[in-house]
Copies of this chain bind each other. A is one copy, B any other.
Amino acid sequence: MIAVLKNGTTPDQVQHLVDWLKNMNLDVHISQGAEVTILGLIGDTSRVDIDLLKSLEMVETVKRVSEPFKQANRKFHPLDTIIEVGNARIGGGYFAMIAGPCSVENEDQIIEVATAVKQSGANILRGGAFKPRTSPYAFQGLKDEGIRLLLKAKKATGLPIVTEIMNISTLDLFDDVDIIQVGARNMQNFDLLKELGKTNKPILLKRGLANTLQELLMSAEYIMSEGNSKVILCERGIRTFETATRNTLDLSAVPVLHSLSHLPVVIDPSHATGKANLVAPMAYAATAAGADGIMIEVHNNPACALCDGAQSLTPPQFDEIARKVRQIREVIA
């Protein structure tokens, strides 16, 4: 970490600051220039409160040189992490094709969709049981019954399942769930992350709507620092000024995260865009950008003429996407 001190800082003030930093077990290397004084801080700077340091009157600017995440950092773990779940693998050249309905509704629905997407090449089944909703009056999912139905679909198809947890008090219900999802709104629910770090289940960690990629990696670090290194990162759109799409899908997250971290990166184009006609192009783009997986909403409700064109795709639409995704992967391999 480097701290640049303001012009006009007195030697006494510099000494005060250096003493304070040494107190935190840091080595401090002072470089006195004509215009500025630069302090190089050597040691475990991950514990330094960078905001406090920046806010000191004498400090012009502070810059981390080494990233504050360690276990998620590719520098210390050059090889890609490969996460195994059932017969599926994610990362290091293995691709996760995750598909399923937004919400689990009933047994027929979930088994039918699971069977269809498996046939098209999906290797993981998704489905919402606990649904975080902006309004307290909105439908919040089938909850434990939803998980029970997902497990039936898992049994029927052999597909491993991923579903979202909202509260650590429900962890028991996830005993037979293969991957536990942390939603965007809980990305910085640090107590939840720490508890999930004590399990040995793969965690699919979604990026918060206004969180930087470094913050995403710091949240992964919360899980990993408790002993669970099976973290899958997921980009699902960030909040910007643009209103033509629900959120702005940040596909540069794929190569950026790959350069910073060894963890696999999955893209969710369904939630980011909010329109079915955007899901396919963004799924292809995510694949071409080098993602380790995509996560697609698929419904199967022939009776509901309305649902065509909604955020969810039909099984035949998913089938075409899955096919082209495989072809794009061959091109960029």
Decide: A63 and B65 in contact? CB cutoff 8 A. Answer: no
Q: Which of B49, B134, B286 contacts A218 (CB 8 A)?
A: B134
Min Cβ gap A321→B in Å is: 11
The interface residues of chain A, by DSSP majority, are classed as mixed
Cα separation A189 to B184 with both chains bound (whole Å) = 10
Decide: B310 and A139 in contact? CB cutoff 8 A. Answer: no
Select the residue from A60, A135, A324 with max chain B CB neighbours within 10 A.
A135
Chain B residues within an 8 Å CB radius of A38: 2, 31, 38, 40
A107 within 8 A of B: no
Chain B residues within an 8 Å CB radius of A169: 169, 191
Pairs of residues from A and B, 9 with the lowest C-beta to C-beta distance, nearest first: A57-B309, A210-B210, A288-B288, A284-B288, A285-B285, A185-B188, A285-B289, A167-B191, A55-B310
A255-B277, A282-B289 known, 19 other contacts, Cβ within 8 Å:
A33-B40, A36-B65, A38-B40, A46-B138, A57-B309, A57-B310, A63-B63, A68-B137, A132-B190, A136-B226, A186-B189, A238-B241, A240-B241, A251-B251, A251-B282, A259-B277, A284-B331, A284-B332, A328-B331
A and B contact pairs by CB, cutoff 8 A, 22 listed: A16-B306, A34-B42, A36-B40, A38-B38, A55-B309, A56-B310, A57-B310, A132-B190, A135-B218, A166-B190, A212-B242, A212-B244, A214-B244, A240-B250, A251-B281, A251-B285, A252-B272, A252-B282, A284-B289, A284-B290, A285-B286, A324-B332
